[in-house]
Amino acid sequence: MNVLARVSAVMTNAPIILNVDCDMFVNNPQVVLHAMCLLLGFDDETCSGFVQVPQRFYGKLKDDPFGNQMEVLREKLFGGLAGLQGIFYLGTGCFHRRKIIYGVAPASFAAIKHEREGSLSYEDLLTKFGASMELVESSRNIYSVEIPPKPMIDITSRIQVAKQVSTCNYETGTHWGEEIGWSYGSMAEDILTGQRIHSAGWKTTLLDTNPPAFLGCAPTGGPASLTQYKRWATGVLEILLGQNNPIIATTFKRLQFRQCLAYLVLYIWSMRAPFELCYALLGPFCLFRNHSFLLKASNHGFSIQLALFLSYNIYNFVEYKECGLSARTWWNNMRMQRIVSISSWLLAFLSVVLKTIGLSKTVFEVTRKDKSTSDGDPSTHETDPGWFTFDSSPVFIPVTALAILNIVTIAIGVWRHAIFWMTIGNHDCQNIGEFVCCGLMILYLWPFIKGLVGRGRYAIPWNVKLKAWVIVVAFLYFCRGD
């Protein structure tokens, strides 16, 4: 994106930049008009640093089987951000002011601190933008409204300049990726760039038109969906644990406190993974050791546990119904939250921790997006894009292990209580709550249960099953006690 920003600067130097992914297309021909109304319609341009269009998808699968259409997130979170500093930068479907990409602060703040960027010397601009006279001159036109832009007579004369600013080593010794352009240092460079813009004092605007402005392609299948979630979670955790932490931006820059909290909602995604994994292991552990961590139904405290469980799920379900979504969509998203937390978020957490202590490096993984059918209801299972597919990726190992562990511990628990019934007679089962927890976890992980006995690309590969079994055996060995 920084290369494209520099090339467009020396070719046309337009003050507005439209950023759209290669797998998206314009669906509403009036989108540019609507965006320009928002960019130019406020009395104070600070209110509209960029205009972000929420992501929507064509050929959506019925009931969102992979939980990646993000309709509730779009309706609830993005709408709520309008009362703060505005929506996040989502990496596509965005109309930017070129000057905010160049790191220009809003005019009101610049006047207070006497930081008029138009007063930057030629040497300062050369240090920031690199050794291209044409790029420096174009940046001066953007920084200062007093300097009239020079009309481009012959764009073809700038081809050699465009080649110069797009070379691999052009950014060496410049401020590209730090103070100007799209920010480096995280796989989620879009979120980080948007946070930098908010930290400068800008506000942003949401544009949600009918019909949708842009339509894109959502990933289908297990590998593509989980890879995408892993990349997102890795990127936002890199921001949280790095020098671009939003708490630091709130303390020392102009990021508002509530906007900081909104960013933290995203950034703690993968931080939840180890805690959710521990909770997911409590049920199997208790069944294996014949312990109980839940209160009996006859205990007065049981009503508190039940109320917490029901209130969370009912509230979540009501949110989906308010967005016009089906109960099956709600269940699919609940199921995918558990799967993603134990797979993508867990691996993202581990990879960032290893990177932080210097034992590993994060690697950018491209999400493969296959074209889906328009109605999500193909005639044969072999071409059903709503079925979970598998490959040999490590992301499937922890979920497969947890699915096997729940099956094994339920079998052990049933066998133990059956022996008690046959030998003792009237036996009071102490583990009803744990049986329910393990049964619910099996329902959450049902795609992996089917994958254990599936065929072809709908089957979990044998090397993944073997590694999962090793983890299960090791867990049971260390939990066996004296």
Tokens at 293, concatenated: 């961590």
* pLDDT reported for residue 480: 83
Span of 209-223, 313-327, 355-369, 386-400 with lowest mean pLDDT: 355-369
Provide the CATH number for the domain formed by 2-217 in this structure. Answer: 3.90.550
Closest CA to 122 of 139, 105, 110: 139
Name the more confident of 476 and 60. Answer: 476
* pLDDT reported for residue 348: 93
pLDDT-above-70 percentage for the chain: 89
Query: Please, what's the b/e burial string for 270-307 (b: 16 or more CB within 10 A of its CB; e: otherwise)?
Result: bbebeebbeebbebbbbbbeeeeebeeeeeeeeeeeee
Q: Taking all residues of the chain, what is their mean pLDDT, rounded to a whole number? A: 87
CA-CA-CA-CA dihedral for 30, 24, 225, 375, to nearest 10: 70
Length of the chain: 482
pLDDT-above-90 percentage for the chain: 61
Tokens at 398, concatenated: 């922890």
What is the mean pLDDT of the segment spanning 31-37? 95
User: Three-state DSSP class for 8?
Assistant: helix
How many angstroms separate the CA atoms of 213 and 26, rounded?
Answer: 6
CA torsion through residues 252, 256, 258, 261, sign: negative
Name the more confident of 358 and 315. Answer: 315
Residue 381: pLDDT over 50: no
Q: CA–CA distance from 452 to each of 126, 401, 462 (Å)?
A: 60, 11, 9
* pLDDT reported for residue 198: 96
With contact defined as beta carbons under 8 Å apart, do 283 and 406 qualify?
yes
C-alpha angle 256/261/265, rounded to 5°? 145
pLDDT-based confidence at 407, cuts 50/70/90?
Answer: very high
pLDDT-based confidence at 121, cuts 50/70/90?
Answer: confident
Span of 208-212, 229-233, 251-255, 425-429 with lowest mean pLDDT: 425-429
What is the mean pLDDT of the segment spanning 364-371? 58
Closest CA to 34 of 216, 204, 210, 215: 210
Span of 39-53, 111-125, 273-287, 353-367 with lowest mean pLDDT: 111-125
Residue 279: pLDDT over 80: yes
For 182-236, how does the pLDDT look when each residue is reduced to its tens digit (9 = 90+)? Answer: 999 899 999 999 999 999 999 999 999 999 999 998 888 888 889 999 999 999 9
How many angstroms separate the CA atoms of 257 and 128, rounded?
Answer: 30
How many angstroms separate the CA atoms of 370 and 320, rounded?
Answer: 26
Tell me 57's DSSP state: B
Residue 360: pLDDT over 90: no
State the maximum Cα–Cα separation within the chain, in Å, rounded to a whole number: 96
With contact defined as beta carbons under 8 Å apart, do 103 and 180 qualify?
yes
Residue 476: pLDDT over 60: yes
How many angstroms separate the CA atoms of 304 and 421, rounded?
Answer: 31
What is the mean pLDDT of the segment spanning 119-145? 84
Residue 375: pLDDT over 60: no
* pLDDT reported for residue 364: 57
With contact defined as beta carbons under 8 Å apart, do 192 and 183 qualify?
yes
For 156-165, how does the pLDDT look when each residue is reduced to its tens digit (9 = 90+)? Answer: 778 889 999 9
pLDDT-based confidence at 373, cuts 50/70/90?
Answer: very low
Q: pTM (2 decimals)?
A: 0.88
* pLDDT reported for residue 368: 60
Residue 313 sits at φ, ψ, to 5 deg, of -70, -40
pLDDT-based confidence at 321, cuts 50/70/90?
Answer: very high
**Domain range list for the chain:** 2-217, 270-364+376-478
